[in-house]
Amino acid sequence: MATAGVLGGVLAVTALGGTSNAVTSENDAGNHPKSQTQVNQAGAQDASDAQIKITPGQGAYNVATNGPVNVTVSNGKLTKVTMTAVATGAEIPGTLSADGTSWKPNGWLERATKYQIAAEATDAKDRSASGNATITTVSPANDFIGHLSPEDGSTVGVGMPVTVNFAKAISDKAAVESQIRVSSSSGQQVVGHWFNDNRLDFRPENYWKPGSTVTVELTRHGIRKTVTFKIGRSQIDTVDARTKQMTVVRDGKTIKTIPISSGSPEHPTYNGQMVISEKFRQIHMNGTTVGLLEKDGKPAYDIKAVPHAMRLTDSGTFIHGNYWGADSVFGNVNTSHGCVGLKDVKGGGDGTQPAAWFFDNSMIGDVVIVKNSEDKTMLAPDNGLGDWNMPWSEWVAGSATH
């Protein structure tokens, strides 16, 4: 993740990312839960020969506004490509080649903007494949060299910390931290914390106040950059791994209770406070990316086009739609490799499904709390946006200026 040296250069505005593959549940669709072996066999039989490549690739920063952004496919044809500006939701027009093997945006991109690219393709046997990437374009010169999230002008949930990532280790932390000032219209005290030599986060003691505006001022050599973002409504989602229910509380009132399936006893979901950092309408989940392999070296799971997926940790925990699990799973059995699954349909096209409702009613920065999981360890504060798992006294102790 990240980039940068001490100061002077470029500040790109983006959110924390990671790969777009994840841990997921292990029951296939049908009237009864199937074994993982059956799911793997089905996945192998249905695997598409089409191979999608998105350039410059997942997590790329400082991408030039005039390219080279393109999507290509081998052993198949692209059927759909969308490129969306994350902050505004605006779709970027693009052109598909006559032979269906490549796509590129029609014009230049905006500076200091995060884009999400989603591609779908089919092979000669009409088997589908999908690919996703989140990239960020270069920002104007003469600012910090680094990456700041959330984006300027965005609206986020109450759990969204301010995160600055540096590609080069920062030795004089006090000097750097003193040139970054974070304040809130709510009057909440905001303090920075260094997780390591490359990452500096800012947060108040408790979640941001709904409706408040957060201002980030960065100064270097007399040059100042100001980034502002707004805190939306409060939404706190609590997953109880014991009861297998998720309670959605908005502005202090419970608005929905959703049956879920979380991590199995062998792969329990992390306990702790997590924050949604990315949203994908569909995503390809493969155990290889998080080191979950069978004895023969094959991935523990390989599920394409998992719908309504939202990232909770950098290590691969998502909350997502599950179309392969029997109805009897949700609210009754914990079956996943660590993710939280909600009932859904293949393709995610049914807006009445619990996963679709939750996706449509969630935003980047919303808090997801997991409790009563069999996992014996608490989520590490620097795993994704797990900042809130650190006690305030310890948080303040990690500042170089307090």
Q: What is the rounded distance in angstroms from the CA atom of residue 169 to the CA atom of residue 272?
A: 29
And the tokens for 381? 């504060």
The low-confidence residues of the chain, meaning pLDDT below 50, are 1-45, 141-143
Residue 24: the pLDDT is: 31
Report CA 19 to chain centroid distance, whole Å.
9
> How far, in whole angstroms, is CA 200 from its chain's centroid?
19
What pLDDT, on the 0 to 100 scale, is given for residue 297?
61
11, amino acid identity:
L
Catalytically annotated residues: 320, 339
What global pTM score does this model have? 0.74
CA atoms within 13 A on the CB side of 297: 0
Which residues, including other chains, have CB under 8 Å from residue 186's CB and lie 6 or more apart?
208, 209, 212
Phi and psi of 11, rounded to 5°? -115, 115
Q: Which domains are assigned to the chain?
A: 140-232 (2.60.40.3710), 235-387 (2.40.440.10)
pLDDT at res. 286 = 62
Sign of the torsion angle spanned by Cα atoms 395, 248, 261, 307: negative
* 83 vs 62: CA distance, rounded Å: 17
Query: Strand locations in 112-252, DSSP E?
Result: 114-122, 128-136, 146-149, 155-156, 162-165, 180-184, 190-194, 199-204, 213-220, 223-231, 235-240, 245-250
Angle, CA of 174, 179 and 181, to the nearest 5°:
110
Distance CA 285, CA 323 (A): 13
- pLDDT of amino acid 219: 84
Residue type, 367: V
